[in-house]
Amino acid sequence: MKADNLNKYVIELENVTRIYKLGKYEVTAIKNITLKIKAGEFLAIMGPSGSGKTTLLNLIGALDTPTEGKIMIDGEDISKMNDSQLTHIRRNKIGFIFQFYNLIPVLNALENVELPMLAANVPKKSRLRHAKYLLNILGLDARMHHRPEELSGGERQRVAIARALANNPSIILGDEPTGDLDTETGLEIMHYLKKLNQTQKNKTFIIVTHDPLIANMTNKIIYLKDGRIEKIESKV
Ligand SMILES: Nc1ncnc2c1ncn2[C@@H]1O[C@H](COP(=O)(O)OP(=O)(O)OP(=O)(O)O)[C@@H](O)[C@H]1O
Ligand SMILES: [Mg+2]
């Protein structure tokens, strides 16, 4: 992204509503949310269980589509995209980190990080070089050939972060990425994410968490309640 794009909004939600229909019942998980997020922001989403955090993240990550409203990623309306356009956005613009890592058990750390680049047709040599570079940044030089079961929880999550960064996405989304870790390891993961946010200026990080200590490491906290934004707290 060019320097003059730094102050542009990378994510824009306009009157977004997501209703789940279950037979004759309806659950309105997200209610009329309007939100703008700039490139390079490092923010947290908090709120009680069922308040719509995962739904909001999945909408931003193009894993789900709104029932009403508009979502723009890098100025492009994803609500109007077809499947192949959405696949392109998910593969190249968005990196996901999950609570339970979602690594492939039979692949080692290096191969797990290579996988998204394989899907994007990056040649083997470049794949390897980039995967090693990312694992190195995440302090995993000595763990490249370990399979997930041979790694600690914190190490697994660092492999998952390297994987999320593989195709150089502009947006990194974490759905409770520290939820399965003890506080100390969770904070360590946040330090890595913060460092990445500071060294790769254009990358936007959105982290869902229940833990105020984790949320406090970000620059802005969005509080959800019953599918709406209750308040936004900014730290300068
Ligand atoms: N696939 C689905 N089908 C029907 N209802 C759903 C579905 N996914 C979520 N919901 C409902 O939407 C609401 C918001 O759910 P969501 O998973 O976004 O909450 P959350 O804030 O992430 O909660 P948690 O902190 O427990 O992960 C809840 O009432 C939930 O029951
Ligand atoms: Mg959730």
Q: How far is the CA of 100 from the centre of ligand 1 (A)?
A: 17
CA–centroid distance, 59 to ligand 2, in Å, is 13
The ligand that comes nearest to the alpha carbon of residue 29 is: 1
Identify the band that residue 102 occupies on the pLDDT scale cut at 50, 70 and 90: very high
Ligand 1 near 55 CB (within 6 A):
yes
* pLDDT average, residue stretch 96-109: 96
What would the DSSP string read from start to end of the chain? --GGGTTSEEEEEEEEEEEEEETTEEEEEEEEEEEEEETT-EEEEE--TTSSHHHHHHHHTTSS--SEEEEEETTEEGGG--HHHHHHHHHHTEEEEETT----TTS-HHHHHHHHHHHTT--HHHHHHHHHHHHHHTT-GGGTT--GGGS-HHHHHHHHHHHHHTT--SEEEEESTTTTS-HHHHHHHHHHHHHHHHHSTT-EEEEE-S-HHHHTTSSEEEEEETTEEEEEEE--
State the pLDDT at residue 7. 57
Q: What is residue 51's predicted lDDT score, i.e. its pLDDT?
A: 98
Ligand 1 pocket member 54 (CB < 6 A) = yes
Which ligand has its closest atom nearest to the C-alpha of 67?
1
pLDDT, position 121: 94
Domains and their CATH numbers in the chain: 39-64+81-234 (3.40.50.300)
Residue of minimum CA distance from atom 16 in ligand 1: 52
